[in-house]
Structure 1
């Protein structure tokens, strides 16, 4: 595999997206209106099932206000109530039509949310639905100088398209009934457990593959040292073909390159641009899946001859027969996923391609020592925090989260993510993690296992188990933070980097290996005649 192809795969994988919650997150943040008596509800999503002329119709999603009573959490306890239009539509003055317990549908604007709710309650409404003037949800809060906050009816914001549909039914003479309830999300969903296992398992597999490759290269070098004089051999350790070491310059430039790429995605985000990303992801996925399958099949004796026999292919050079046999399957798999990626179980194909790509990158790209690893992860740490949190000050929204969700593109997020549907969440959606949250710490974890094998350290005396455990704990803390933040996006590297890097540095210092880990990145092997073996 040539360096140009490796660089291409790395460029795709460098998009480090934050760990997000399920679909349906409320768009706008409430940063200016503090809670106060009568206006201290937590913001919750609200399900609004509807019936038109006694026939079940669509179910809409709204957001509850900070004021008013809380809603039922179970559908069976929610009453079906008739919907009525406000007259005037903004409900900033007493409605002309008499209400007897109906839910009133009003337009946003011209007066405060609490004034609309007070007027609707005085007119006899049982609840108020406020139509936003955009196709998104907005948090309804109380203004700082408001005092009349003893509101006895629930208030729910609906997006513009949902309100327009309900208005149209009523104006056409149909009877519209609806119910309002807000089901609670489970504290932990099974999808999060599986996603954690996928991330940890991916790094585990990639680390062992990377360590095995490094050990084989070291054994080959020692064989050469037995048969030839050192003066005819390179001073540095040799690598197997296609291995690329990250240097200090590229580690520092990561922030600049990845930030430019992220801003480009943010500015150009549209349906056609998502299609371009899908094509790029498919090419990288084919490369990763092919590399993993060839390596896996080569372990079987019946495929070894095909793996070791090569043929010249124009533009590609020498290619093994096994690679030629596997390639059509990989291309077909990728194309089928791209064509049918909107169906409900397409996430399986996306995860297979994504995991293959991540493993391939972690096997090819390496940090040569702890110094480069520290600089790379420190830059990634700052990068993640800046584009999730700080970018709101300049762009008025989190650039990282907008890109990861695929807002304004009409698509369900970008493809550079591992995702699993939330199985027991009444709101549905996906639990997702960005490639960068696996690849970047995975580079350090893979480095730890390579060092352990070359230093002939047992698992207990080495660094790999500690680094792997630290990554798992860091990702677990990300889940906890995600749930505490009510499902809003979190920069996973904010938690993962201190765990993995901090553990490695502390343990290296305590054991006296920090100088070698920091500079050389591999132990000195003065006697090349000793056979290298993996620890038992």
Structure 2
């Protein structure tokens, strides 16, 4: 069939590019609380490392804004810009602020150079001179047990250079220091949850409906078959790729190898390659979804075929929608840094996930259990355990695209945080939807095959378990100051556990585990409506 031939390469690319790359690291971009477990915990040194906004004002008019890191010592910095003091910015003299200043200050924020003495020494000298706060262009960690009562902020070198240039070129430069609080729950996380759940629901019903139509068509062919050759031909009609136990076992090994490679070679050009691959997969996914949707109204065009070089016979409907899909992906790639580009990324990503879930199936609960259990362990290892080997979380680094100069890899669904003054995105990896989605789509196909109602079947409960597991992921994300969480750590126990407990309770576990389909009198009488089944009886 056309769909199988055209989608084989998409499945392979998806397995390498999407599942391996980002199977489950859920992160919240723009975290404001930094890891300070190894920082000193002495008296007067109990502040958290938080990001601080440094808003400049040139002759009273707001100018460029910079971001620094508040020190663990000194007074805490206000969170609201409206209550933040506006103070004149001055350069230290001497510049390192390691000895008493040559002139007294009257509440200015003083900017000093790095080096020659400890950060806390600089802060004490600035405080003694009358400064209201100190900006240190310094990335060193200094211990302290001194009594400091002015805010202290560390700035990166490029920010320090920009501020110094402003002071030298302008007659009056003032700054405001404030550190906005991040809301515990942002609307973006609610919409992202709905997006993930909705994607699996749509994919499940499309998968079950396609399977139903395929079995009905196969049933008709088998009834009309008069010889063994025709029977074999009829049974051979299949556009589904099934995951087996061996491929599930190989997943972890191959995925880990690719993840380490991506971690080591992460760079700007590498992200560009991923963008191209993502666009190719997104184009195919969007084409498949649009053709399936529009074929209900343009059935004749969907059935009419045209031979295309290199691609073989392609439906006219696919040829009609292809230019739109190609242009859509190209426009997204060109403008992917724009504030609205996340919409195009999500559309391409959802289309690709839905398409793969419609084509790739797990045949039974055994394969699903092996795949999800290994993915569960894979996630935990590369998010948490990898810190011991690489001194940072490999999964999180790859998901964010650290070292590439880009705002993360494209294989994510993301929504901008709407009520967070720090901005950033709430994101979820494709694997967090795809891998549990394989089990959930299987549950709906089984329910339809067994003629189960929504309540007596497994799909509703598996879907509920997935939603609850994803919800707990975001709860953990917020409780742990926004540090990345492996979503499958919460999702797999809920979905797989719910499925197995219900199966055991209802007496279906053996069938679900080994066969993946209920017992029936004739194997080709499957996935039919209740009316059709009654007629056959």
Out of 424, 439, 445, which is 1:444 matched to? Answer: 439
Matched, 1:279 2:276: yes
1:101–1:198 distance in 2 versus 1, CA, 3 Å: same
Measured after TM superposition, the shift of residue 75 of structure 1 is 1.1
- Deviation larger for 61-70 or 32-41: 32-41
- Quick one: distance in 2 between partners of 1:424 and 1:459? 37
Distance in 1, Cα, partners of 2:470 & 2:435? 13
CA positional deviation for 1:31: 2.5
Q: How far has the Cα of 1:403 moved from its partner?
A: 1.8
Deviation at 1:531, TM superposition (A): 7.0
- Residue from 244, 248, 256 that aligns with 2:241: 244
- Structure 1 residue 93 corresponds to structure 2 residue 99: yes
CA distance change for structure 1 residues 535 and 430 in 2, over 3 Å: closer, same or farther? farther
Summarize deviations over 1:334-381 as a string: whole Å, max 9, x none: 111111212211111111111000101111111111111111111111
CA contact (8 A) 2:135 2:155 kept: yes
Q: Helix, strand or coil: the match of 1:83?
A: strand
The equivalent position to 1:104 in structure 2, one of 81, 92, 110, is 110
**CA distance, structure 2, for counterparts of residue 164 and residue 24 of structure 1:** 25
Cα distance, 1:12 vs. partner?
2.6
- Equivalent residues of 1:214, 1:239 under 8 A apart: no
Cα distance change of structure 1 residues 241 and 225 upon mapping to structure 2, 3 Å threshold: closer
Match of 1:188 among 185, 188, 191: 185
Report the counterpart of residue 26 of structure 2 in structure 1. 19
- State the alpha-carbon separation in 2 of the partners of residues 193 and 106 from structure 1: 43
Contact 2:450/2:518 (CA < 8 Å) preserved in 1?
Answer: yes
Relative to structure 1, is the Cα distance of residues 234 and 96 closer, same or farther in structure 2, using a 3 angstrom cutoff?
Answer: farther
| Residues in 2 aligned to 1:108 and 1:383: alpha-carbon distance in whole angstroms | 42
Q: Which moves more between the two structures, 487-496 or 86-95?
A: 86-95
Alignment of structure 1 residues 447-486 onto 2, 5 Å: 447-486=442-481
Distance 1:519 1:94 in 2: 79
Could you tell me how far 1:313 is from its partner in structure 2?
Answer: 2.0
CA distance in 2, matches of 1:295, 1:479: 33
Change (3 A) 1:192 1:173: closer
Moved more, 522-531 or 252-261: 522-531
Return the offset for 1:474.
Answer: 0.8
Q: What displacement does 1:396 show?
A: 2.0
Q: CA deviation at 1:252?
A: 1.3
Q: How many residues align?
A: 524
Q: Where does residue 373 of structure 1 map in the other structure?
A: 368
Assess, with a 3 A threshold, how the Cα gap between structure 1 residues 102 and 30 changes in structure 2: closer, same or farther.
same
Taking structure 2 as the reference length, the TM-score comes to 0.91
Cα distance in structure 2, aligned partners of 1:187 and 1:246: 39
Aligned residue runs from structure 1 range 47-62, under 5 A: 47-62=53-68
User: What is the rounded CA distance, in whole Å, between the counterparts of 1:239 and 1:198 in structure 2?
Assistant: 36
Aligned counterparts of 2:110 and 2:197: Cα–Cα separation in 1 = 50
**In the alignment, which of 300, 305, 309 is matched to residue 314 of structure 1?**
309
Range 505-514 or range 214-223, more displaced: 214-223
Instruction: Indicate which of 168, 175, 179 corresponds to 1:178.
Output: 175
1:146-295 mapped onto 2 (5 Å cutoff): 146-148=144-146, 150-172=147-169, 174-228=171-225, 241-295=238-292
CA shift for structure 1 position 406: 1.9
CA pair 396-274 structure 1, distance change in 2 beyond 3 A: same
Given the alignment of the two structures, is residue 487 of structure 1 paired with residue 485 of structure 2, yes or no?
A: no
Is the CA contact 1:217–1:239 (under 8 Å) kept in the aligned structure 2? no
The SS at the match of 1:386 is: helix
Long gaps (5+) in structure 2: 532-537
Equivalent residue, structure 1, for 2:296 = 299
Residue of structure 1 in register with 2:77 after alignment: 71
After TM superposition, the score normalised by the length of structure 1 is 0.92
Indicate the larger mover: 341-350 or 48-57: 48-57
Range moving further from structure 2, 51-60 or 199-208:
51-60
Which is worse superposed, 171-180 or 350-359?
Answer: 171-180
| Shift in alpha-carbon separation, 1:83–1:534, aligned structure 2, 3 A | farther
Aligned residue in 1 for 2:535? none
